Amino acid sequence: MITRRVMTALGLLALSPLAGRALAAPGGPRLGAPEPMDFDRLKDLARTLRDRPYTPPPEAPASAALDALTYGPLQEIRYPPGRALYADSPYPVTFFHLGNFFRHPVKVYALEGGQARAVIYTHDLFTYPSGNPAKDVPDGAGFAGFRFQKAPAGQSGDDGDWLAFLGASYFRAAGDGEQYGASARGIAIDTAPGPGKTEEFPVFTRFYVSPAAEGAVTVLALLEGPSLTGAYRFVARKAPHVVIDVACTLYMRRTVERFGLAPLTSMLWYSEGMSRFLASDWRTEVHDSDGLLMQTGAGELIWRPLNNPPRLSVSAFADRSPRGFGLLQRDRAFDHYIDDGFEENRPDIWVEPQGDWGQGSVQLVEIPTHQETDDNIVALWVPADPPTAGTDRSFAYRLRWTAAEPVATDLARCVATRATKGSWLAEADRKPGRANLVRQFVLEFEGAALAGLDPEKAEVALTLSRGSAAEVGATSAPYGKPSPWRVFLKVYAEGPEPVEMRLQLKSGGRLLSETWAYRYDPEAPGTVL
């Protein structure tokens, strides 16, 4: 599976400038004959395809040219802005070239006035130096995906893109920091499968793209996979931050084990307090997101710091009618990363359900990794009554891509989670295997609700699913005005099974903080952290 990590490595999602204007030529891409299309027609098409046997999307014909279009040659390819689709609109559309890692062409149509016309691949849409293998790709080969530019050629801010569709059902938008980070998908099917099973990756096979109107761009997309088909409508606005309204109707071919709605994908190699990774890299933190935030149907705010666990981990947070959930990059300090990749500017993605999603759970999948090239974090909504074979279901939700906290509140937020099994261990805890079951956690909270209060008089309300805790208390951190609160707790696990933890700060019965939730995964005896 080609992840966003590979796309970034190939320079395909780097928000890099387009080719210089000296290369631009008049006229956009060649278009096919018109055919009627709108969202209702797309739903009819998806329903019809559901009732037919599944056919995998075809690859581009095998050729030496595609084999040779690897990292270097792909980076040489440019798309002159004057040749974009809707070149004079506020957000011109340019295309990703097929290559060694992107062999499944998608069909892209220009959609205006209820009429769709296929965009036809021709060599003159791209420029590349003499000897680049792209010159041998035949006309009509198709595109790997497409993106919306930030402005027409010649206008201020025309040096990059802000919304891209590339690979399976993935799409992503640039946040306030003008960077790509976490991604979204159309659907997730059987994520984190059991032994002997594999995850299914349905694919957007057709896109119908309309020009910008009243500050918004609209994309219709056809989803196809072994288990389902779907019709999607995306309405995206760039300012003041990217907001995408998603509507979809899904038609089930068969019943699946885990039906994941509004899935988000990100990367966390390590964050503060994960000392076992510091010997592997010179940077102090490496991640695109550092936590999962949820607002339950009852209004509770739950913050779950992300982890890079020793084994595959799936956490489920049962809820009814959720108000929202998302993957956040809460840590915005450059000196916490010290990297010229500027991870502190990665966008948050926040999902706001439209309508009542009923009973289900927000699920968090954390996959062990020893490198930053893996997208190892997935967050998604799993309904308690998912659609089954032969049925269809419609959903709607809003995605916000921003650097600001998605929920306004005076409650204190957890801004750091650290864990150690350091020199403070008592002699009894140093026995073989025992030290791997004991951790000290140090949390930091900031927020208006803490103002004027004495942390040492506050209640630290802690619950554990197993094991026990000791030396639980709060104090002021030795920095900042006002100072954050620093919370200490020592946790003893009873064995190698995970310990689910929840913590809130209270004073006189009044809630002071969001709920901090965490899964402590004890290492097996003998493991070196």
- Spell out the residues 6+ positions from residue 227 whose beta carbon is closer than 8 angstroms to its own: 189, 200, 202, 252, 253, 254, 256
Residue 522 has pLDDT above 90, yes or no: no
Quick: pLDDT tens for 371-387.
888 899 999 999 999 99
Q: Which two tokens stand for residue 261?
A: 């709605």
Alpha-carbon distances of 110 from 75, 118, 163, 164, 207, rounded to whole Å: 26, 6, 17, 16, 9
Three-class secondary structure of residue 148 per DSSP: strand
pLDDT of 277 strictly over 80: no
The two three-digit tokens of residue 233, written as one number: 């409508």
CA gyration radius, the chain? 25
In the predicted structure, residue 349 carries a pLDDT above the cut 60: yes
**Amino acid at site 13:** L
Look at the pTM and tell me if it is higher than 0.85.
Answer: yes
pLDDT at 18 over 50: no
Q: Where are the domains of the chain?
A: 4-402, 413-520
CA angle 311, 315, 319 (to 5 degrees): 175
Tokens coding 472: 């639980």
Nearest to 383 by CA among 255, 526, 529: 255
Looking at residue 315, what is its pLDDT? 97
Task: Evaluate the omega torsion of the peptide bond into residue 240 and state whether it is cis, within 30 degrees of 0.
Answer: yes
pLDDT one-digit tens code per residue, 41-98: 999 999 999 999 999 988 887 788 888 999 899 989 988 878 999 999 999 999 999 9
pLDDT tens digits for 468-479?
999 999 999 888
pLDDT band at 157, cuts 50/70/90? Answer: low
Which amino acid, residue 345? Answer: N
Give me the amino acid identity at 292: L
Q: What is the pLDDT of residue 24?
A: 29
The proportion of the chain whose per-residue pLDDT surpasses 70, expressed as a percent, equals: 89
Residue 351 has pLDDT above 90, yes or no: yes
Reduce the DSSP state of residue 394 to 3 states and report it: strand
Segment 189-202 shows an average pLDDT of 93
**What is the chain's mean pLDDT, rounded?**
89
Average pLDDT over residues 349-364: 98
Task: State the pLDDT at residue 433.
Answer: 56
- What is the fold of 413-520? Immunoglobulin-like (2.60.40)
- What is the percentage of the chain residues whose pLDDT exceeds 90? 67
CA distance linking residue 458 with residue 450, whole number of Å: 10
Beta carbons of 343 and 267 less than 8 angstroms apart: no
pLDDT of residue 22: 23
CATH topology for the 4-402 domain: Beta-galactosidase; Chain A, domain 5 (2.70.98)
Q: pLDDT digits over 399-456, tens only?
A: 999 999 999 999 999 999 998 875 455 655 655 556 567 889 999 999 999 999 999 9
